[in-house]
Amino acid sequence: MTSVHSQTMPENDPVPPQPEITHFPETPQEPATMLDVHPAHHAASTWRDFFLHIATIVLGLLIAVGLEQTVEYFHHQHQLRELRQGLIADASLYLHDVDQLRLVNRQQIEDLTTRVQQLELALSHHQKLGPPIYRPVPPTSTIRLGDFSAAKASGLAQLLSEEEINTVSDAEVGVAKSEVLKEHAQEAMRKRVAFEQRFQASYPEGAFDFSAATPTQLDEYLGLLLEERVRRAEYLDYLNEMHGGATAYLQGQRDIDKIRQAEEAPAAH
């Protein structure tokens, strides 16, 4: 009897070896974002469509420019109102300072006139000259046009009309001239005070004694007093003109010729 040899199979098949992974699988990249390009509008097919398209563009530009100019116009109007208000403030302060200087110079002229009379009496009657008596001089301010100067520096002055610019510029010239006249009066005063101190026992509170003054010295003294009075009178006359011009300006006058007429009017004196 022929025997059949059967092969014994393993219960579990062995797992075939897996290839070794040397790197992680790449993560799939998202596709790059594409520009969203809109297709062109339908091209003008007729001349009418073409001109209508151009007209639309031009109208849009005109509207944009018009809006910009409107905003700029109202901005300039606001700046102009503020500038004119500043000029009114300048004129008010200008008039205040001018009137203060007018008062001081009138008092000084009066005191100088009294001293001249005392000296002339002493010379004519060969009498002893007494000490000088002058009223204290209160502090005064320099005449100024601050807002207009600032407007010129910033370029805003060009917003004013030519008439307004001429008027305020004329006032600036007046301020410069008044400073020159003021300095002339101050220089004459310094010379007179220096002469008087020759006969003062001690400065600044010492007593004055002119008993030793010679006729020649008294004549020199008289000349210094008269010189100062003349300089102060010139300064006062010009301050009176400035008063008239500033008053007319504050009353609304902007015509340069009429303002100059107001400066020369007798009422200003």
Q: Is residue 259 part of a domain?
A: yes
Q: CB of 190 within 8 A of CB of 81? A: no
77-134 per-position pLDDT tens digit: 778 899 889 999 999 999 999 999 999 999 999 999 999 999 999 999 888 999 999 9
What is the Cα–Cα distance from 67 to 73, expressed in whole angstroms? 10
In 3D space, the residue among 96, 83, 97 whose CA is nearest the CA of residue 147 turns out to be 83
Residue 43: count other Cβ atoms within 10 Å of its Cβ. 8
Confidence of residue 204 (pLDDT cuts 50, 70, 90): confident
Q: Is residue 38 part of a domain?
A: no
Find the domain containing 232 and state its range. 50-268
Instruction: Give the pLDDT of residue 22.
Output: 47
Q: Is residue 242 part of a domain?
A: yes
Phi, psi (rounded to 5 degrees) for 11:
-65, -35
What average pLDDT does the segment 37-59 reach?
A: 69
Instruction: Give the pLDDT of residue 29.
Output: 53
Q: Is residue 228 part of a domain?
A: yes
Instruction: Give the pLDDT of residue 9.
Output: 43
Instruction: Give the pLDDT of residue 250.
Output: 95
Q: Is residue 64 part of a domain?
A: yes
Question: Which alpha helices (H) appear in 126-214, and where do they start and end?
Answer: 146-154, 162-196
Q: Is residue 160 part of a domain?
A: yes
For residue 5, give Cα distances in angstroms to 2, 9, 181, 221. Answer: 10, 13, 148, 164
For residue 191, give Cα distances in angstroms to 116, 119, 162, 207, 223. Answer: 15, 17, 44, 19, 11
Q: Is residue 116 part of a domain?
A: yes
Q: Is residue 41 part of a domain?
A: no
Amino acid at 196: E
What average pLDDT does the segment 171-186 reach?
A: 96
Strand partners, 208: 200
Query: What's the whole-model pTM score?
Result: 0.72
| Of 28-42, 140-154, 235-249, highest mean pLDDT | 235-249
What is the Cα–Cα distance from 115 to 188, expressed in whole angstroms? 15
Looking at the structure of the chain, the number of domains it has is 1
- Please determine, for residue 10, whether its predicted confidence score (pLDDT) is greater than 50: no
| Of 18-22, 35-39, 260-264, highest mean pLDDT | 260-264
Percent above pLDDT 70 for the chain? 80
Q: b/e for 139-166, b at 16 or more Cβ within 10 A? A: eeeebebebbeebbeeebbebbeeebbe
- Please determine, for residue 152, whether its predicted confidence score (pLDDT) is greater than 80: yes
3-state secondary structure of 200: strand
- Please determine, for residue 23, whether its predicted confidence score (pLDDT) is greater than 70: no
3-state secondary structure of 80: helix
Q: What is the mean pLDDT of the chain?
A: 83
Residues 82, 83, 84, CA angle at the centre, nearest 5°?
95
| Of 9-13, 50-54, 89-93, 156-160, highest mean pLDDT | 89-93
| Of 123-132, 163-172, 178-187, highest mean pLDDT | 178-187
Amino acid at 85: Q
What average pLDDT does the segment 32-61 reach?
A: 66
What average pLDDT does the segment 40-46 reach?
A: 59
What average pLDDT does the segment 38-64 reach?
A: 72
- Please determine, for residue 72, whether its predicted confidence score (pLDDT) is greater than 60: yes
